[in-house]
Homo-oligomer: A and B are copies of this chain.
Amino acid sequence: MTTTRYVSGNRPVDDLYGDLAAANVQPLWEMNDLLTSEPRPSTMPFRWKAVDLWKLATRSGELVPVEGGGDRRVLAMANPGLSGAPFISTTLWAAMQYLLPGEAAPPHRHTPAALRFILDGDGVSTTVDGDPVGMARGDLILTPSWTFHAHLNSGPSPMMWLDVLDLPLVGTLEAIFFERGQSHDPHVSPLRSSAERLYGQGPGLVPAGRDAPTGGPVHSPLTVYRWADTDSALDALLEVNGSNEATLRYTDPSRGSDVMPTLRCEMTRLLTESSSVATRQAGSRVMAVLNGEGRVDIGDQTFSLDRGDVFVVPSWSTCRLHADTTLDLFTCSDAPVLEALSLFRSEVVKTR
């Protein structure tokens, strides 16, 4: 028997239940909690401390070669609510990737989309479909679905960064394709990638006549967003809004949409000694502390926050931030998926 057999305690019903199970059929009326009035996520609120991640990554660097399985030295944050699966939520994968000086992670591509957010350090370049992109603190780098990507540490120090992928979602859709690329000689990243020179020069300025082939994969042609721009944009937004909290969205400059069809990226600045409004939204969010110290309330739990910490906010869980010093928080969510499917909801939650 391959499916669940239910038991009622009533003999003829149990006979029926046996025959149902034998036929790979299950009775809805015995299932609890299939349809709940609000989401009851398996994903649990959780925070990983930067200090722990760095220690574990450093030990991995000493013990495990980058050439191992998966061609990457990656530590996946495994949500304690997901029965041992290596996912930070039911839709998102989040991990720390660690590369020693001189090491290279060879090119490959896959249908799951990925991004890299740099919480510390520099020296690594990521090559996206042949275009090398230098990575430094505060930068967001995209390696969209089915683009070849490789990493090379040509700097003098180990480097660790945050990877976020839509891998669990694409896995659920049973749509994972993967391909190895051609290895290239290590090469130094130029000061600016071609993507930046084509799409990263100024707001609203795009090359004429470079329309993406219709029907092709849809993602931002700009594969890196530099911290200097983000930092000054956050200051300007705070100034215009006259508030203590500002959130920027990273968008595809050729479409105005989210950077990739499955992942929304945002950066929030919350000024020192202030608290954000409490909100909740359908779908899950991974957040990482680029700068500052404080704490976050998620549902009825509170986690302290230090620079480099990563945490997950489950679906429909109320989230509120408190800054002891000015917090800069990177957020990646699956909101574009829920929006595309008419399933997105969000609201401000009243707090005392």
Contact = CB atoms under 8 A, between A and B. Distances in A.
Contacts of A9: none
Interface string A177-203: 111000000000000101001111111
Contacts of A341: 173, 261-262, 337, 340
A143 to B, nearest CB: 13
B236 A3 contact: no
Contacts of A110: 35
Given A31-B70, A282-B175, A249 B207 contact: yes
A263 to B, nearest CB: 10
Interface stretch (A58-66, A116-124, A151-159, A291-299): A58-66
A339 B16 CA distance: 40
A29 B239 contact: no
A145 interface: yes
A59 B208 contact: no
A266 B12 CA distance: 39
Contact of A24 (B3, B77, B214, B229): B77
Contacts of A78: 2-4, 24-26
The number of times this chain is found in the oligomer is 4
Contacts of A23: 48, 52-53, 56
B176 A39 contact: yes
B214 A36 contact: no
A158 to B, nearest CB: 16
Contacts of A27: 60, 64, 74-76
Given A3-B80, A28-B69, A316-B174, A59 B248 contact: no
Contacts of A77: 24-25
A125 interface: no
A337 B90 CA distance: 17
Contacts of A80: 2-3, 24
A106 interface: no
A124 B115 CA distance: 44
A100 interface: no
Interface string A76-91: 1111110011100111
Q: Which one of A194, A220, A240 has the greatest number of beta carbons of chain B within 10 Å?
A: A240
A172 B174 contact: no
A272 interface: no
A253 interface: yes
Contact of A237 (B68, B192, B207): B207
A28 B75 contact: yes
Nearest to A257: B256
A13 interface: yes
A222 B240 contact: no
A68 B201 CA distance: 42
B233 A86 contact: no
Q: Which one of A202, A237, A250 has the greatest number of beta carbons of chain B within 10 Å?
A: A202
B56 A16 contact: yes
A301 interface: no
A288 interface: no
Contact of A169 (B19, B172, B334): B172
A198 B200 CA distance: 17
Nearest to A177: B38
B28 A202 contact: no
